[in-house]
Chain A
Amino acid sequence: MSAATHISVRGVHKVFQSGGQEVHALKAIDLEIPRGEFVCLLGPSGCGKSTLLNAVAGFSLPSSGTIAVEGAPITEPGPERGMVFQEYALFPWMTVAQNIAFGLQIKGLAKPAIQEKVEGLLALLHLQDFRNRYPKDLSGGMRQRVAIARVLAIDSPIMLMDEPFGALDALTRRNLQDELLRLWMELKKTILFVTHSIEEALYLADRTVVMTYRPGTIKRDLAIDLPRPRDVASPAFNALKKELSQLLMEEQSRHNQDEFKGAAVD
């Protein structure tokens, strides 16, 4: 393991029991993520990308193999690996400010320190005018901003993001992608980002890991060397897009075959 490795995934298998059948969600996954890298996990549904993310988060540990952060094996969820969920998962009974403050209260920070930090994050994510709103009164994009702020509040060096922009409309999505890139460059986080959108992966990531459909293995580990901000209309971008589409289509067709056989259990 090199000194710069932040997350290391070694020989990870994950087996589920589903309807009396063994489903190999992950098989022999090896992945080294250096500190500060933005990595996208890309694949069709059922390829195990969320399973891998949940394993790194510590919600569901691998059946065999190890996942380590800075060399220390993961055994449970923890605030150094902050998670942003597709369904936002904001606490509906807390206001925006209270949601952001929650992790800081758990850490046991003093009230003035919490307040200062929350104010800073509200400003950073342009949420100042919404601090006393409840999540039900916010749009999807706003909710995801709050969820990101909630993770930033606890200063996680690693951000795990499970299709965070999947439910947003195209414009809001692009807007939040830009925002995330800005935050990532500013705060130097290591980001592991699950998506099924090729364009999203190409727009955001330093490196895109394409996964196979069941058993989930790594099909291709591709460095994206395009300069930022990336031009989605450029020939280089589209060449990569075509390449990834080809890889993904193969997996999607295996997924479809499985579904027609009625074997897919999502």
Chain B
Amino acid sequence: MKNLKHAASGILVPLAALGLWQALSSMGWVNATILPSPMQVLTKWWAYLRPLEAFDPAQGSYLAWCFSGELIHDALGSLYRVLLGFLLGGGLALPLGLAMGYSKLTYGLFNPLIQVLRPIPPIAYIPLSILWFGLGNPPAVFLISIGAFFPVLMNTVAGVQNVDSIYLRVGRNLGASRLTQFTRIILPAATPYIFTGARIGMGTAFIVVIVSEMIAVNNGLGYRILEAREYLWSDKIIAGMFTIGLLGLGIDTLMSRLSSHLLKWHRGLEQS
């Protein structure tokens, strides 16, 4: 009952916004090209989602047909780039971050360069990325990996540096070798920070994928909403935007579920 009430109150504002939007459109106060009605967007969304051709068993399985819609292709394309870029950027940032957090020497060597590069938004790399990698997936993945790299790096460094020294004292007291201290104490103690970094990095990757698709790739959700603008299909633009929003929400929910599962020992994540 309480949950129901909670859910009901959560849906109130979106419903009101939707109602207002529909009213604006049906009263004819705004041009439908500038702001199409919610119904129009929904119709377009469905058209964007469903398969383009009728089911033909000769072309492949029913399941493949179900997923042959343009939106599905775009979403999968974007998702593929996000994951690839995230794994690349995060995968490089994690070992470097661990090394920088653990060793003052490594920190001293790398930190100045990192601090200079970090404030450069990934978007600023667009011209170079096209110069270096041409068009298509490579420049997009490059940009996304830059977006994911720094949050993972900075949080990993902080995570290792902030390991409570009392845990290391216990480790030494129990006779742990340096390797054991690193793998069994420092690494697990730093995971809450690392996961936070991964979540922020994934968020950045998601922003960057949309931008990079507007510039360097000819499919994906970012490309599609830019293409729709060329034809003044504002309903498709909005449908694409909502898809981006829902996909981002889905990824973030997944990441947060994963981290609270893996960090069930951690105090700070009990309520998230």
A103, B175: Cβ atoms under 8 Å? yes
Stretch from A16-24, A42-50, A85-93, A184-192 at the B interface = A85-93
Stretch from A29-37, A74-82, A199-207, A248-256 at the B interface = A74-82
B174, A79: Cβ atoms under 8 Å? yes
Q: Could you say which residues of chain B place their CB within 8 Å of the CB of A72?
A: none
Which one of A85, A92, A136, A154 contacts B174 once the chains associate, using CB atoms below 8 Å?
Answer: A154
Q: Mark B168-206, 1 if CB is under 8 A from A, else 0.
A: 011011111100100011001101000000000000000
A103, B174: Cβ atoms under 8 Å? yes
A91, B173: Cβ atoms under 8 Å? no
Given known contacts A92-B265, A93-B189, A134-B265, A79 and B167 CB-to-CB distance under 8 angstroms? no
Q: A107: nearest residue on chain B (CB-CB)?
A: B175
Main secondary structure of the interface of B (DSSP, over half): helix
In the complex, B54 has a CB within 8 A of chain A = no
CA distance A89 to B175 in the complex (A): 15
Q: Could you say which residues of chain B place their CB within 8 Å of the CB of A102?
A: 174, 184
Q: Could you say which residues of chain A place their CB within 8 Å of the CB of B2?
A: none
Task: State how many angstroms separate the Cβ of B259 from the closest Cβ of chain A.
Answer: 13
In the complex, A106 has a CB within 8 A of chain B = yes
B176, A92: Cβ atoms under 8 Å? no
Which one of B169, B173, B265 contacts A93 once the chains associate, using CB atoms below 8 Å?
Answer: B265
CA distance A87 to B170 in the complex (A): 11
Q: A90: nearest residue on chain B (CB-CB)?
A: B170
Q: Could you say which residues of chain A place their CB within 8 Å of the CB of B176?
A: 106
Considering the complex, which residues of chain A in the window 96-136 have a beta carbon less than 8 Å from any beta carbon of chain B? 102-103, 106-107, 134-136
Q: Could you say which residues of chain A place their CB within 8 Å of the CB of B170?
A: 83, 85, 89, 91
CA distance A106 to B175 in the complex (A): 7
Q: How large is the interface on A (under 10, 10 to 19, 20 to 34, 35 or more residues)?
A: 20 to 34
CA distance A248 to B210 in the complex (A): 70
Q: Mark B132-174, 1 if CB is under 8 A from A, else 0.
A: 0000000000000000000000000000000000110110111
Q: How large is the interface on B (under 10, 10 to 19, 20 to 34, 35 or more residues)?
A: 20 to 34
In the complex, A39 has a CB within 8 A of chain B = no
Q: Could you say which residues of chain A place their CB within 8 Å of the CB of B177?
A: 106
B166, A79: Cβ atoms under 8 Å? no
CA distance A83 to B264 in the complex (A): 27
A93, B191: Cβ atoms under 8 Å? yes
CA distance A82 to B171 in the complex (A): 11
CA distance A82 to B175 in the complex (A): 10
Q: Could you say which residues of chain B place their CB within 8 Å of the CB of A107?
A: 175
CA distance A94 to B167 in the complex (A): 12
A85, B166: Cβ atoms under 8 Å? yes
Q: A133: nearest residue on chain B (CB-CB)?
A: B265
In the complex, B266 has a CB within 8 A of chain A = yes
Q: Could you say which residues of chain A place their CB within 8 Å of the CB of B167?
A: 89, 91
Task: State how many angstroms separate the Cβ of B112 from the closest Cβ of chain A.
Answer: 30
Considering the complex, which residues of chain A in the window 31-74 have a beta carbon less than 8 Å from any beta carbon of chain B? 57, 59
In the complex, B267 has a CB within 8 A of chain A = yes
CA distance A77 to B169 in the complex (A): 8
A106, B180: Cβ atoms under 8 Å? yes
CA distance A254 to B182 in the complex (A): 43
Q: Could you say which residues of chain B place their CB within 8 Å of the CB of A106?
A: 174-177, 180
Which one of B169, B189, B266 contacts A59 once the chains associate, using CB atoms below 8 Å?
Answer: B169
Given known contacts A91-B185, A134-B265, A136-B265, A154 and B175 CB-to-CB distance under 8 angstroms? yes
Considering the complex, which residues of chain A in the window 174-228 have a beta carbon less than 8 Å from any beta carbon of chain B? none
Q: Could you say which residues of chain B place their CB within 8 Å of the CB of A79?
A: 173-175
CA distance A154 to B180 in the complex (A): 16
Q: B177: nearest residue on chain A (CB-CB)?
A: A106
Q: Could you say which residues of chain A place their CB within 8 Å of the CB of B173?
A: 57, 59, 77-79, 81-83
CA distance A118 to B265 in the complex (A): 20
Q: Could you say which residues of chain B place their CB within 8 Å of the CB of A93?
A: 188-189, 191, 265-266
Task: State how many angstroms separate the Cβ of A207 from the closest Cβ of chain B.
Answer: 24
CA distance A76 to B174 in the complex (A): 12
CA distance A92 to B188 in the complex (A): 9
Considering the complex, which residues of chain A in the window 151-189 have a beta carbon less than 8 Å from any beta carbon of chain B? 154
Closest 10 CB pairs of A and B: A103-B174, A79-B175, A134-B265, A93-B188, A77-B172, A89-B166, A93-B265, A83-B173, A77-B173, A89-B170
Besides A77-B173, A107-B175, A154-B175, 14 new A-B residue pairs in contact (Cβ under 8 A), listed by A number: A59-B169, A59-B173, A78-B173, A79-B173, A85-B166, A89-B166, A89-B170, A91-B167, A91-B188, A91-B189, A92-B265, A93-B191, A134-B265, A136-B266
13 A–B contacts, CB within 8 A, in A order: A76-B172, A77-B173, A78-B173, A78-B175, A91-B167, A92-B265, A92-B266, A93-B189, A93-B266, A103-B175, A134-B264, A135-B265, A136-B266
